Structure 1
Amino acid sequence: MSYKTKKVMPIGIVSELTGLSPRQIRYYEERKLIFPERSEGGTRKYSFLDVERLMYIAEKMEDGLQTYEIRRMEKQKNQEELRREMLRGQLNAAFRQRT
């Protein structure tokens, strides 16, 4: 597991790093834009990738986008990445058959 993906930071630290209030961060979680883990005591834990994502979300919100638009953009981006991976796999399989 990469240090970027390990969820270890509490919401207060994430708030300081991003400039977002804890309420804003919780709101983005409610809107299914960010997915923190929970400790046994229920404390939210975030990763460095979560911090980067929160900063991206905040930038898009400042640009005037709504949360549902950001979620839709992310879904489209993920679908495009999946298509590229599938195509890459098909090309690799076809290339291997010829050699």
Structure 2
Amino acid sequence: MFLANIAWKKLGIFAGGVLFGTAGMKILGSQDAKKVYTEAAAAVLRGQDCVMKVSTTIKENCEDIYADAKRINEKRAEAEEKALICDCAEECDGKEV
């Protein structure tokens, strides 16, 4: 008797799953659902465009920062080289080479 109750319960769960799956497929394939999918895809594409614009702006800013940093380091190296040349010139004054 106990086994009979379990068998009916499992059969009922299976039948409910099949019914739910069939109804779900009908709902997911309907025209209204397709409109929702289309709107969702359009929103994703708009989001992608926004992200791409922001990432392009960030990339451009990083390139500008890199170029400025290189320029600063070049100026600093020139100044250090001039200072070294001046120090050497002061030490060499009055000495025979």
Q: Which TM class, normalised by the smaller chain length?
A: 0.3 to 0.5
Structure with higher Rg: it is 2
Query: What TM-score, normalized to structure 1?
Result: 0.34
The structure in which a higher percent of residues are strand is: 1
Q: Which has the higher contact order (CA 8 A, sep 6+)?
A: 1
Query: What TM-score, normalized to structure 2?
Result: 0.35
The structure in which a higher percent of residues are helix is: 2
